[in-house]
Amino acid sequence: MSPPVQIPIPPLPEDVLKLPTQSDESTECAKSKIVEKIIKTSEVNETIETVAKQSIMEMHQDRMFFLREQLKLLKDTEWRYQPIDKLIGSCASSEAP
């Protein structure tokens, strides 16, 4: 089985998680800072969503590669084993009176 895919998560900007402080700034300046934080938060969410989609796609590709390798191995070693239909048929005929 393939190893789990590591999902790189970009670091969050430090000021995204901080609440705005009420200082001597005007309300307009405070509003613009809130808008900036909302934009940064949405950018972080979008980045996380993109990374998650990429990792899901990579995991799918890894599974498909693994299944193709298993199928190739089965085809390459098929000559070693008798078909199950032949085994079932031979067992059924030997048990019949």
- Give 42-69 pLDDT, tens digit per residue: 999 999 999 999 999 999 999 999 999 9
**Which residues make Cβ contacts (< 8 Å) with residue 15, sequence separation at least 6?**
37, 40
User: What residues contact residue 58 under an 8 Å CB cut-off, 6+ apart?
Assistant: 5
Q: Which residue has the tokens 């000559």?
A: 79
Instruction: Report pLDDT for 53.
Output: 94
Domain count, the chain: 1
Query: 97 in a domain, yes or no?
Result: no
Mean pLDDT to the nearest integer, 9-28: 65
Residue 50 domain-assigned (yes or no): yes
* HSE of 5, CA atoms in CB hemisphere, 13 A: 16
Domain range for 40: 25-92
pTM: predicted TM-score of the whole model, two decimal places: 0.49
